[in-house]
Structure 1
C-alpha cells in the first residue's frame, strides 16, 4: 500500500508539471497572436506572418502525437495496379498493337537473260534462258519470242508489335514481326524447231523478327531521340516450278536463306499539339554468316529437247542438284520508317505510316553441290547444269557481279493499346 501511494504521488506531480508547461506554452502562443494582430494593424504584414509561423510550430509540438503509426502496406502491393491510366508491372508500361500493311515488292537479279552476258550464252549453247528475278537456283529453258508475265508483287499482311518502357523513361524494349509473300507466273511461246510453249511459276515468302533495346534521349519537353540496338532474325524462301510439254521438260527449284543479323538505328519523335506526334528514323543490319540452302530437280523426257544444246535426248534425264552444306551468305539490310501517331482517347493510339526495307545479299557458292542422277546421261546433264549455273548466277561470290536485292515498301495503318 505504501509503494502504491508513492507511485500515485509521483504520477500526480508529473501530470501537474506537464499541465503547467502546456498552460505556459499556450499562454505564450496567445500573447504572440495578439502581438501579430498588433503588427498587422500597424501595417507590418510580413512581421505578423513570421510570428504566426512560430505559433504554428509551438502548437504542433504541444498537440501533435510523438508516436507515429506504421504505414499500412496492402498485401496485394506487388500486383499490377493502375496509375494515371497506365497498367504498370515489371516497373514499367507496356504497349500491345498491330499493323495492317499493304506491301509492294521489287526484285533485282542483275542479269535476267543469258544474252546479257556473252560468256554465259556461249557456255549455255542455247538462247532459251529468260530467268526469274526471284529465287536463286531457278535457271530454265523456255522460248522467249513472245512472253506474258502475271506478277502479284503486293501483299496485305498483319504485323504485331509489343513494346516496353521502363518507369525511368530512359530505356525500353520492342518486338516487331514482319512478313511478306508474292507470286509470279511467266508464260512464253515461240517458233524454235516448231511451236514451243513454256510456263514457270514462282512463290516467294519472307519473315522477319526484330528484337531491340531502346535508349531514350530527351531533347526537349516534346522532342526526343530513340536509339535502337538489337537483332533481326529472318528467312527468305522461294519455291518455283517450270514446265514445257513441247520441249518435254519439267523442273522444281527451292531455296531458303536464314540469318541472324545485329542491327542498330535511331528515330526522332516530335509531339505537336496535344494528341499528335510523328516519328522519323530507320535501322541498318548486317551479317556475313547468313546461310543458303537450295535444291534443283530436273526431268527431260525421252525425245525432249536438251536444256543446253537444243538437241533431242535419247533417254530420260532425271537429276537433282543440291547444296550439301549451308552456303555462307552476306546480307545487308536497310529499314526506313515515317509514322504519324494520333491519340484521340486515353490508352488508344492510332498509326499511319510509310516503311521501306531492302535486303541485299551475295552467296559464296565456291563449293561443288551434291548431285544425284538416274543414269549416266542424267549425271552428265547434271554436271553440265552446274557448270552453266555457276557461270550464270551473279550471286555465286564473284567479285565483279552485283549483289541481289529484294525490297519492300509498305503503306500501313496500325492500332496500339497503351497500358
Structure 2
C-alpha cells in the first residue's frame, strides 16, 4: 500500500503546497492512500481514487480562484478608475478590432451619432458605419472621402490626426497598435488650439500679403522676418537679408548718426518710433519710407523683437518737392511784379498776396490769411 506520506509528497509536487495542505486538512490523503492500496484490478478502487482526486482538485481550485479573484477585481476597479481620471478620451480595441473598453471621457469627443451607437463588443468599422446611418459625423470641409481615409488611418496605426466634427469641434486622435493586433485610441478636444492656430495663420497670411513692407528684427537688430512687399519694395530677396542688419542692407547715408541714436533710445525705452527714413534699394536707388517701429514683448514683458511697418512714399515726396519747387518759382515770378496780384477764397479771406500787395497793405506773408478783402480795402475805394 502507498503510504500517506508518499501520497502527500506526490500531491505536494503535482498540485502545490497549498492544495496538499488543504487535502491533508480534509483527511482526503488518507482516503486516497487506502484506495491506492486496493488491487489494481479493482475498478471500484480506481474509480473511487479518481473521484476523490477530481473532487479534491476542483474544490482546491475553487478556493484558489476565489482568493485570486478578490485582489484581481480590486485591481481592475483601480485601473478603470485611473483610466476615467485621465482627461483625454481612451478606447481599447482587441485583436478582432472590437471595442473592449472606453473611459468616461471618450464619448465626449464624439459626434452625436457615434456617441449614440458606441458600445463594447462592436467592431470599429461597424460602429462607424452604424453611426453614419443615423446622421453626419464629420464636417463637410473634411471632404466626402474622409470616412474611408479615417478607416485607413485606423488600419495603419500608429497614426496622429485632427478631425473636424459636424458640430465644428476639432478632435485630435492618436492611435497606437498593441502587440496582439489591437488598438489604443486617445482623443482630446483641440478646438481652442485650432482656433488660435487659425488666427495665427490668418495673421501671417495678412502680414505676408499686405502692401506695406513688414520687417521683424531681434534685439541684435538682425532681420528674422521680412514679407513679400519688402522684397518688391527694396529689391532684396528674403533669404539674402535674414540674419543681417538693416544698417548693412538698407542704410543710405542720408541721415546723421544722431538720427538713428534718437530712434534707438525711443525703442529701448519701450516706445514706438515714427518718421520717414531714406533707405537705399538693392540697385542703389533711394527709397523714402514712412516708417513705424514698435517693440515686441514676450509674456514676461521683456522686449525680444521689433516690428517695422514701412510705406513707400518716394513718389509722393517727390511730387511734394516738385510742388514746393513750383510754388517757389511761381512766388519768385509774381513777387517781382509791380502790379497787385491777389488770391481770395470763397469766404473772402485772402490766400495770397504778392510783394507789391503786401507792401501796399502793410502786411507780412503770414498775416494774409487773417484778413478779408473788407479788412484790406477801404470802404470808400
Shorter-normalised TM range = under 0.3
More strand by share: 1
TM-score by length of 2: 0.22
| Higher RCO structure, 1 or 2 (CA under 8 Å, sep 6+) | 1
More helix by share: 2
TM-score by length of 1: 0.21
- For the pair shown, the structure with the greater C-alpha radius of gyration is 2
